[in-house]
Structure 1
Amino acid sequence: MDLQLTGRTALVTGGTKGIGRAIVEGLAAEGVKVAFCARTATDVAAVEEELRGAGHDVTGTAVDVADAEALTAWVAASAEHYGGIDVVVANVSALAIGPGPEHWKPSFEVDLMHTVRMVDAALPHLEASGVGSVIAVASVSGREIDFALGAYGVMKAALVHYTSGLAHQLAGKVRANSVTPGNTYFDGGVWQSIERDDPDFYSYALGLNPTGRMARPEEIAYGVVMLASPRASFITGSHLVIDGALTRGVQL
């Protein structure tokens, strides 16, 4: 099926590893021009070189999304470079799990406010697009109480609320949805670190999923790419859970 994404432009934060990189690759494979960012310049350059070498039109920039001015400037520069913005994917997380202000502040500034600021900066371009789409990457920790209770889970839940409200406010102009991944395993990711450093907890977490495994980044990215497609024109205000039946809450 043609997802009608060829020639569109997307912005993706945290695009050098894990879910973010899989999203960049998934969109690029559909013919999307992708501007992505991450904090580490060497990682950004390496991913940009690799994907351009594969024939994709991508542009990477080193940006700390907690820096409001830098984030806004990146959105403006990307829109100018590609002549507009059709899709915004807010993927970055501070992964600040635990109590205390040292976790609440980065969770607020990175997980939540980078999404809000990115959307605010991109909104004129998204409205002008005619097929504008916002997708925020949340977490199962925002859907139910788990080991990441506190700042991380609260801010991920806030992202779902934010996108639902955005969908209502912008109905008929720009679509907004959230995607909630379950535990996702990839090289260099948090679960690989836990597997190495705390094998008992890793085994416990793995055993919670009835599929017997964790998600692969490309499985989460598929949901994001689908929601970005103009074919999903009547899907807005939705919360797509991709967790292999890990969570047991019923969405009514």
Structure 2
Amino acid sequence: MDLGLKGRRVLITGGTKGIGRHCAEIFADEGAHVAICARDADAVKASTDALKAKGVTAYGEAVDVADKAALETWVTDAAGALGGIDMVVANVSALAVADDEAAWEAGFAVDMMHSVRLVNAAMPWLEKSDAASITLISSVSGREIDFTRPAYGAFKAALVHYAQGQAMKLAPQGIRANTVSPGNTYFEGGIWQSIEQNNPELFAEAMSLNPMGRMAGPEEIARGVVFLASPASAFTTGTNLVIDGALTKGVQL
């Protein structure tokens, strides 16, 4: 299937590892030009160089997405480097799963406000695109109460609500907004590898809840993100795509 991504311009936050890195690679493989950001400057450079090697324009900056000014500057610089913006993917999470005020503050600043600010900063370019889309990475923790409560799950649920509202508001302009809710996703340097190494009891419990007997690979989530963001999914907006291997038990109506 031709996803219609050749020559399109995509911004991805947290594009150096895990789901974000695989999204960037798949977009580039489909011929899209890609801008990424993350906090680790060396990882950003290595990832950007790898994307350029695929024959597309790639741009990267070291950015703390909780820093409003830095995030907005990256969006402007990325739009200049790519010649515009067609799609944004808000992927970064604070992964704040503790039950204290610091977790609430981190989740608000990173998960929630970085997504809102990314959308707002990119809007002048999205309004000019004929294939504009917004894709926010939520989580199945936003659908069910699990060990990540309360802050992490609350903000992941809020992202779905925010995207739904944006979908309704922006539909007349042809700008789509959706969320993707991954289940347990395992990759090197990710939260589940850390849990496996440091809390094997919790890891074993989580594995036992996965009906497929395994966790997702980041590329399996990324494929859904890229399709949802692409022109091939042009009539899909206001949707929360759950990719969890039947982990969650709630019926999404």
Query: TM-score, normalized by length of structure 1?
Result: 0.98
**1:247 aligned partner:** 248
User: 1:48 & 1:130 partners in 2: Cα distance?
Assistant: 26
Q: Which runs of 5+ in 2 are unaligned?
A: none
**1:222 aligned partner:** 223
Aligned residues: 252
Identity rate of aligned residues, in percent? Answer: 58
**2:132 aligned partner:** 132
**2:46 aligned partner:** 46
User: What letter corresponds to residue 181 of structure 1 in structure 2?
Assistant: P
Instruction: Give secondary structure in 2 for the equivalent of 1:188.
Output: coil
| 1:42 Cα deviation from its structure 2 partner | 1.0
| 1:46 Cα deviation from its structure 2 partner | 1.4
**2:237 aligned partner:** 236
Q: Which runs of 5+ in 1 are unaligned?
A: none
| Aligned-residue CA RMSD (Å) | 0.9
Q: Which aligned pairs between 1:6-25 and structure 2 lie closer than 5 A?
A: 6-25=6-25
**2:64 aligned partner:** 64
| 1:198 Cα deviation from its structure 2 partner | 1.3
User: What letter corresponds to residue 47 of structure 2 in structure 1?
Assistant: V
Say which is worse superposed, 49-58 or 81-90, in terms of deviation: 49-58
User: 2:48 & 2:198 partners in 1: Cα distance?
Assistant: 31
User: 1:196 & 1:56 partners in 2: Cα distance?
Assistant: 37
| 1:47 Cα deviation from its structure 2 partner | 1.3
**1:32 aligned partner:** 32
The answer to whether the 8 Å contact 2:24/2:51 transfers is no
Instruction: Give secondary structure in 2 for the equivalent of 1:129.
Output: coil
| 1:55 Cα deviation from its structure 2 partner | 3.1
User: What letter corresponds to residue 189 of structure 2 in structure 1?
Assistant: G
User: 2:82 & 2:63 partners in 1: Cα distance?
Assistant: 18
User: What letter corresponds to residue 183 of structure 1 in structure 2?
Assistant: N
The question of 1:211 aligning with 2:246 is answered no
Q: Which runs of 4+ in 1 moved over 6 A?
A: none
The answer to whether the 8 Å contact 2:98/2:148 transfers is yes
User: What letter corresponds to residue 172 of structure 1 in structure 2?
Assistant: P
User: What letter corresponds to residue 214 of structure 1 in structure 2?
Assistant: M
User: 2:79 & 2:65 partners in 1: Cα distance?
Assistant: 17
**2:84 aligned partner:** 84
User: 1:180 & 1:211 partners in 2: Cα distance?
Assistant: 17
Deviations 1:66-101 (A, max 9, x none): 000010111111111211100000000001111111
User: 1:190 & 1:181 partners in 2: Cα distance?
Assistant: 13
User: 1:51 & 1:168 partners in 2: Cα distance?
Assistant: 34
User: What letter corresponds to residue 135 of structure 1 in structure 2?
Assistant: T
Query: TM-score, normalized by length of structure 2?
Result: 0.98
